[in-house]
């Protein structure tokens, strides 16, 4: 395995700087590490990330990082890449009509937890999963079989 020398690192950084300068001039979103690796013909997106970090430590660019995106400002020109739009959330509402976006309307709403989650003092089973002593678990009509033999025997 051969290692790239300092010259290879400088060439990679120069290519990346040209790529970022073009994106900033067009007002495009900063490419992800995987996109930069693909455009620079690199095997690993980690290598592209390290090249960007090298440009930042050299002072050629400044990077403002967010959770899933970043804005790169080219120091020489002062131009920046555009901010990436955040991914849409399921519960985000439309700005114009107040209706949910996309498939959010198709997703079922979660039911709140029932209040009867304590174990029954008689059987130890929670009422929301089938305690027979709970009013919610009991059917509307309860049939209690009575032995005819015990009903016919007179009590002394």
- Tokens representing 82 are 């555009």
Q: Where are the domains of the chain?
A: 8-74
Q: Measured between alpha carbons, how far is 87 from 84 in angstroms, rounded to an integer?
A: 9
Residue-wise pLDDT for 116-133, tens only, equals 677 888 888 877 777 777
Burial class (CB in 10 A: 0-12, 13-18, 19+), 104: middle
Phi, psi at 82, each rounded to 5°: -75, 155
pLDDT at position 58: 92
Q: Identify the three-state secondary structure at position 136.
A: coil
At the topology level of CATH, where does 8-74 sit?
Arc Repressor Mutant, subunit A (1.10.10)
Residue-wise pLDDT for 42-94, tens only, equals 888 898 899 999 999 999 999 998 888 899 999 999 999 998 876 655 554 44
Chain-wide mean pLDDT for the chain?
75
pLDDT band at 2 (very low <50, low <70, confident <90, very high): very low
């Amino acid at each position: 395995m051969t290692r790239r020398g300092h010259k290879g690192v400088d060439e990679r950084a120069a290519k990346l700087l040209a790529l970022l300068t073009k994106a900033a001039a067009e007002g495009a979103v900063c490419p992800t590490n995987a996109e930069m690796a693909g455009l620079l013909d690199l095997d690993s997106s980690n290598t592209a990330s390290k090249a960007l970090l090298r440009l930042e430590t050299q002072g050629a660019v400044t990077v403002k990082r967010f959770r899933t995106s970043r804005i790169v400002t080219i120091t020489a020109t002062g131009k920046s890449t555009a901010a990436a739009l955040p991914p849409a959330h399921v519960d985000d509402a439309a700005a114009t009509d107040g209706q949910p976006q996309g498939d959010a309307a198709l997703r079922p709403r979660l039911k709140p937890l029932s209040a009867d989650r304590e174990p029954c003092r008689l059987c130890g089973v929670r009422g929301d999963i089938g305690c027979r002593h709970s009013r919610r678990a009991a059917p509307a009509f309860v049939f209690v079989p009575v032995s005819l033999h015990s009903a016919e025997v007179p009590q002394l």
